[in-house]
Amino acid sequence: MKKIIITGITGQDGSHMVDYLLKNTKHQIFGTVRRLSTKNHENIEHLKNIDRFSIIDMDLTDPHSIRNIILDIKPDYFINFAAQSFVAGSWKYPIQTWETDANAVLHILESIRRFAPDCRVYNAGSSEEFGEVICSPQSEEHPLRPQSPYGAAKCAARHIVRVYRESYNLFALQGWLFNHEGSRRGKDFVTRKISHSIAKLKKALEIDEVLSYSNPKPELPVLYLGNLDAQRDWSDAEDFMEGVWLMLNNKEPKEYVLASGEMHSVRSFLQESLKCIGVKYKISGEGVDEVFSLEDGRPIVKVSKEFYRLAEVDELCGDPSLAEEELNWKRKFNFKQLVSKMVKADIEELKKT
């Protein structure tokens, strides 16, 4: 039985990767977590008591922790999804971002080189590496032009992965994962922030209907967003897990872009989410003064400068054609299906509270 170490299993990608591998392989899976005073295991609660899955403690900021785990387990695969992955947060925590997203990758590679040189390594790359793009869509050949500490850290990781691959003949790669979302996404990320807020709005409107006699009507929860015109290439996170596994089991270590090849604005994601709950609204103002309101005038969405990035990446659109051709990788969910799936999941989550 082959052994796989997956980091970041309490997050979106790591937990989905465990699900995918339990369903599609017979390998032994070790998921790493960092010791915290309060456990954050919501995304892996369903994995308890599964024989082929074990949770182990490992801290990416501690080289000895990484070394000891790799030395003890000697994995056949190492999949690194752990990171400080909130782009806006990387300006607030640049050193932490660099430690976890760049330096930790070097420690992983060095331990793999010394103790498990036949291990296949995947490190999660990001569309944010392309940053200030010079052409669209972005393929594997697009230059790296990061616009954030997060993007810069991912670029540094990409270079050290290449150096170790070419210097030591390691099967190590870093595929580019364009924006990928889902119901396990953290609520700080704009897509989940929107879907969760729209679910809360639906719940508030249901209460509002019961209190229809109230005059004036009660205030509704207001969603605050940044640049509504920023455009991204959004896919379903679950679709990307197969792509990662295909990369890892390719004949040679080759890096691919996983994306939808379509761009949608934050505004489009918001409006599609509002459609899911059948809300009629009107828009007033422009820029930071833009407001979405119900027909009775109560605001439900406002724009705030607080959520604008220091250096905005206006548009990212990936070209997945190489992965589709050489790996035979295909997405199963389109943009509208993704939005609907996320809003419905958050509505169901709120019903439990």
pTM of the model: 0.91
**What are the residue ranges of CATH 3.40.50.720 in the chain?**
3-174
Specify the pLDDT at position 40. Answer: 78
Check residue 36 and give its pLDDT.
66
Q: How many residues appear in the chain?
A: 353
Average pLDDT, the chain: 93
CA atoms of 96 and 84, how far apart (whole Å): 7
Candidates 184, 174, 189, 179; CA nearest to 80 is: 174
State residue 215's pLDDT score. 64
Distance CA 46, CA 123 (A): 25
**pLDDT (mean) for 1-6:** 96
Whether 48 has a pLDDT exceeding 90, the answer reads no
Fold adopted by 190-229+265-313+343-351: UDP-galactose 4-epimerase; domain 1 (3.90.25)
| Contact criterion met (CB below 8 Å) for 84 and 98 | no
Residue 103 CA to residue 327 CA, distance in Å, equals 30
Write the pLDDT tens digit of every residue in 71-88.
999 999 999 999 988 888
Using an 8 Å Cβ cutoff, are 274 and 242 in contact? no
Lowest mean pLDDT among 33-42, 224-233, 284-293: 33-42
State mean pLDDT over 207-227. Answer: 77
Q: Which has the closest alpha carbon to 138: 149, 148, 127, 147?
A: 127
Asked if CATH classification 3.40.50.720 holds for the domain at 3-174, the reply, yes or no, is yes
CA count, 13 A, side-chain hemisphere, 132 = 7
Q: Is the pLDDT of residue 353 over 80?
A: no
Q: Span 46-54, mean pLDDT?
A: 93
pLDDT band, very low/low/confident/very high, at 210 (cuts 50, 70, 90) = low
Q: What is the spatial distance between Cα 334 and Cα 63, in angstroms, rounded to a whole number?
A: 40
| pLDDT band for position 244 (cuts 50, 70, 90) | very high
Inter-residue contact 180 to 234 (CB < 8 Å):
yes
> CA-CA distance, 106 to 99, in Å (whole number)?
10
Which ranges in the chain are annotated with CATH 3.90.25.10? 190-229+265-313+343-351
The answer to whether residue 211 scores a pLDDT higher than 70 is no
Quick one: pLDDT at residue 196? Answer: 97
Contact 184, 11 (CB under 8 A): yes
